[in-house]
Structure 1
Amino acid sequence: MHVKNKQLLFVYNEKSGKGSIRNYLADVVDLFTQNGFDVLTHPTQSRGDAEHFVQEHAGDADAVVCSGGDGTLDEVVNAIMNVRPHLPVGYIPSGSTNDFATSLSLSKNPVEAARDIMVGDIYRCDVGAFNGTYFVYVAAFGLFTDVSYQTDQNLKNSLGYLAYILEAGKRLMNIPVFHLRIEVEGQVLEGNYCYGMITNSRSVGGMKNITGNDIDMNDGLFEVTLVHTPVTPLDMNEIATSILTGDYHSNLVENFKAAAVTIEATGDIDWTLDGEYGGKHRVAAVVNCHKALRLYLNRRKSVPLVENQAPLKALAKTFE
């Protein structure tokens, strides 16, 4: 009797980064096939296409693998959280920054990353819920947060991370002021802020260790960083030093852990979710979905994961 192969959805953004995934497609698909998968491939055509494709085909799939930047991963995770929350995901990073991949030391070589997925374990990673949608590693507002989605794709492909730096420099002459009321675990903060980020990552904007210390990506807690609007050039210098060094003893920068946070503004403000435009919101209710994402990781190669549980089953045993 013929034993039906497992089905794998492979979604990739061929324009992400410098389009290098195109050079490895045959090898990656062959690797999946050798491991007993029938592979349904789909190159994304526009923003939102990855989410739509996964929602349409997730019902028959045993696994999903995506290749692209953090935005592509964001779409895939949103699709899975909405239709099949327990469907495991593999990620082959090919974007310009790849913060989430950096946080977990995922290989940037597509074939090696695919091989790691095939021999990997299931790692239960936290996911953020934001006003009815989801994000993988960061929700942010304020200064610089539009850089990731406003920077021209061709410029990102040619200059990489430098393109973001050039675009960010244009924002320094127009620092925003948001009067906010922030509720965290029964406590209320209120004041003028120019920037805020709610993260589950060791890297944001290509910079490591700016989200705080002792980052555990499946502890059920976000790292929350809020920056008060500077008044003087000395304030700006103090803020920059605090963020870049990860030393949050400044009165101008607040950094703490929380499972949920609600941020209320006096008017609509633009938010960024995983580097993509997240819409205008006057009130943002953000909740940590503890261990909601089932992610394939080669634990022998990834960064040490703070996780008190028995060894997890290998991918080959996941579908038994």
Structure 2
Amino acid sequence: MKKMLFVYNPNAGKGLLRPKVSDIVDIFVKAGYEVTIYPTQSYRDAYKKVCELEEGYQLVVCSGGDGTIDEVVTGMMQREHKIPIGYIPTGTTNDFANSLHIPKDILMAAHTSVNGAPFACDIGRFNDDVFVYIAAFGLFTDVSYQTKQNVKNVLGHLAYVLEGVKRLYNIPSYHVKVTYDDQVIEENFVYGMVTNSRSVGGFRNIIGKHVVFDDGEFEVTLIKSPKNALELQEIIAALLIEQIDTKHMYTFKTNHITFESLEEIPWTLDGEFGGQHDFVQIHNEKQALQIMVSPEHISSLMEYPEKLSLEAAEEKTEE
């Protein structure tokens, strides 16, 4: 039998996974896998488990929120022999899963994890660390990891909004030099994000249109510091209607970017604390990770979907 590791966070979301673990494992076994089950016990536990996983496994499936998938991917990127990852989202927002059309239904996501198709997506290198879909600093970025789990479980996405609203009148501003593609921007910013996602914090479109996940480029959004209350209101209005306001924002694509500042700035990686840094170098590792998705959605995630049609035609010719 094929071997797989199933690692899950029993505290993610509203604990919806626990009563369905038996049904999930049944799906895995029916797909021909011998399953090793591991519930995480502490922070970075999933990362350590994947790093230490012995050879001979064909698949790792994880369940939890964005922090859990971040730990598993980070662990996988440390391994010489990388294997596909399946994901059953049970967190509060699940931006990465939503972007890849991974089903919200737990059992359907489990089915996709073992019966779907591997999709090679980009991964971000952040100094010596790794992120799956977002590296960000500034306004609201500490909300996800400072909001208590029990509050997230009860209020869901509203918890992020309520926690974020508290900070609107005490906004830190950072003077940052940003360098990318022979371009240099030096300004005061209240927010910056480097993403490979179609939604952040449940919000879509603010990142830009036509986001794909295997093109070797990130989408970058930088929000300038407002000079007065009117500018702050304009920025908030743009965020609420999910539109880019070019007066107050920079948006562009790049595969490599650096951030330099005089002070150390706290960053978040996939919703988890990423440390404080005065120099950050971010690089896109194109198609570095295989993640299991529904076959019918692969073409919508790709830079060149016609490649699938060509491969299908070649397989038919060989038959």
Q: Which runs of 4+ in 1 moved over 4 A?
A: none
User: Alpha-carbon deviations, 1:18-72, whole Å to 9, x = none?
Assistant: 0101011001111111111110110001110000011111523111000000100
Displacement of 1:242: 3.1
AA aligned to 1:229 is S
Residue pair 1:58, 1:83 contacting (<8 A) in 2 also? no
| Aligned counterpart for 2:203 among listed residues 197, 200, 207 | 207
Are 1:52 and 2:13 matched, yes or no?
Answer: no
What's the counterpart of residue 193 of structure 1?
189
Name 2:260's counterpart in structure 1. 264
SS at match of 1:108: coil
Percent of counterpart pairs with the same letter?
46
> 1:74 maps to which residue?
70
Q: Secondary structure at the match of 1:235?
A: helix
Aligned to 1:112: 108
* 1:145-294 correspondence to structure 2 within 5 Å: 145-294=141-290
**Is structure 2 residue 308 aligned with structure 1 residue 310?**
yes
Offset at residue 239 of structure 1 (A): 1.6
How big is each residue's C-alpha offset from its partner over 1:73-120, in whole Å with a ceiling of 9 and x where there is no partner? 000000000014531000000000000011112112111111112221
Structure 2 unpaired stretches of 5+: 313-319
Counterpart of 2:158 in structure 1: which amino acid?
L
- Cα 1:143–1:296 shift into 2, 3 Å: same
What letter matches 1:105 in structure 2?
H
C-alpha distance in structure 1 between counterparts of 2:108 and 2:253, whole Å? 34
Residue 65 in 1 paired to residue 83 in 2?
no
Name the Cα RMSD after superposition. 1.6
Shift of 1:191: 0.8
Moved more, 50-59 or 219-228: 50-59
Aligned with 1:96: secondary structure? coil
Q: CA deviation at 1:261?
A: 0.5
Instruction: Report whether the alignment pairs 1:129 with 2:125.
Output: yes
Which residue identity is paired with 2:181? E
Cα separation, 2, equivalents of 1:103 and 1:143: 22
| Structure 1 Cα separation of the partners of residues 236 and 54 of structure 2 | 44
CA shift for structure 1 position 213: 1.1
C-alpha separation in 2, matches of 1:205 and 1:23: 27
Indicate if the aligned counterparts of 1:8 and 1:65 stay in contact, CA closer than 8 A.
Answer: yes
Unaligned runs of 5+ in 1: 314-320
Cα distance 1:302–1:158, how it changes in 2: closer, same or farther (>3 A)?
A: farther
Q: For 1:242 and 1:85, how far apart are their aligned partners in 2?
A: 44
- Residue 23 (structure 1) aligned with residue 5 (structure 2): no
Q: Deviations over 1:108-149 (max 9, x none)?
A: 211111111222111111110001110000000001000000
Q: Indicate how the Cα distance of structure 1 residues 205 and 85 shifts in structure 2: closer, same or farther if over 3 A, else same.
A: farther
From 112, 115, 136, the counterpart of 1:140: 136
Distance 2:63 2:80 in 1: 19
TM superposition shift of 1:303? 7.8
Secondary structure class of the residue paired with 1:45: coil
Q: Summarize the Cα distance change of 1:58–1:199 in structure 2 as closer, same or farther, 3 Å threshold.
A: farther
Residue identity in the other structure for 1:138: I
1:155–1:86 Cα change, 3 Å? same
SS state at 1:60 partner: coil
Question: 2-side partners of 1:210 and 1:296: how far apart?
Answer: 26
Distance (Å, rounded) in 1 between the aligned partners of 2:44 and 2:35:
21
Q: CA offsets per residue over residues 213-244 of structure 1, 9 Å max, x none?
A: 11111111100000111111211122223334
Q: Is the 8 A contact 2:6 2:36 kept in 1?
A: yes
